[in-house]
Amino acid sequence: MTYVKEVEEAYQDWVKKRQAEGKIEGKIEGKIELVNKMVRAKFGIDTLTQDLSDRLAKLSDRQLDEFTSKIFEWQDLSEMTAWLQDLSA
């Protein structure tokens, strides 16, 4: 399965889950979960480090949206971590 298909599938699963629950609350948590899946799929990581997981969990709704677009531009993990560090600077 290609990376884009994996991400699309994860997103569709998330959307279906939210629709079935009839909840909008937890939107941020769902996006964080999706972003974690995207990072693992894109960079071939089984589990995220605690530091990386914490940084992703602190992103705002707007930053999470930006992240989901930017991840397609990054070629390796160091580019993503640099972006995350720039946010906290």
Q: Judge whether residue 8 has pLDDT over 90.
A: no
Task: Quick: pLDDT tens for 11-32.
Answer: 778 777 766 665 555 678 888 9
Please give the residue that has the higher pLDDT: either 80 or 3.
Answer: 80
Q: Judge whether residue 80 has pLDDT over 80.
A: yes
- As a whole number of angstroms, the distance between CA 67 and CA 79 comes to 12
- First-residue to last-residue Cα distance in the chain: 37
- As a whole number of angstroms, the distance between CA 4 and CA 17 comes to 20
* pTM of the full structure: 0.68
- Phi, psi of 51, deg, nearest 5: -60, -45
- Phi, psi of 27, deg, nearest 5: -60, -45
